[in-house]
Structure 1
Amino acid sequence: MNIDNAFIVIVSGGSEITSLAVAEAAESSHIKYAVIATRKNSLFTRHRGCVYFKDISSHLECWSRLSDVFIEEIDKIRLRFSAELVIFPTEDGSLRLLNELSEEVLKRAKFSRARALKMGGVDKAEVIEQLEILKLSNRDLDARIINSPSEAIDVFKTFGNDAIFKPALKPLNMDLSGLGGQGVKVVTQNSSNEDNKSVARRLEQAWSLSERWIAQPRLKAGPRMERSVCLANGRHTRACQVTEELKYPNMGGTALWVKTEKLKNLIPQATAITRALDCVGICEVSFLPDEHDQYRLVELNPRPWLQIGLVEFAGFDILSSSIAALLNRGESHQEVQVDIKDWLHLERLFISILSGGVSASAALSLGKKILSCNTTIAGYSSSFPKMKSRILERNFRKLLNY
Structure 2
Amino acid sequence: MKKNRYSDWIQPQLILPEDLLRGDQPYLTQELVRKYFTETQQEFLARRFPLYCPDMRVIEKEQLPDYFHHEGGMGGINDSAIIMAYIAQYYVRWREKKDSSVRGNLKSFWYRRISRLMERLGRLEPQTNGLSVRGLVGRGRYLLKTMEDTFEQLFRIGLYHYEDLDIYNQREKFQLYGRKEKRHLFYVEKEGMMWVCENVNAAFSCHAFASRGSGSWIDVDYLSKAISKLGTRNLYIAALTDYDPWGVFIAKQIRKKFESELFDFRNVHLEILTTRDLYDADALQIEKRYLLANHHDPKDPVYRVVMKWVEAGGGINGEPYGIYSDHVNQERLMERVEQWLKGNWSNKLVTRMDVTDREWKAATRQMKTAE
Which one scores higher on RCO, CA 8 angstroms, separation ≥ 6?
Answer: 1
The structure that is strand-richer by fraction is 1
Task: Give 1 or 2: higher helix fraction.
Answer: 2
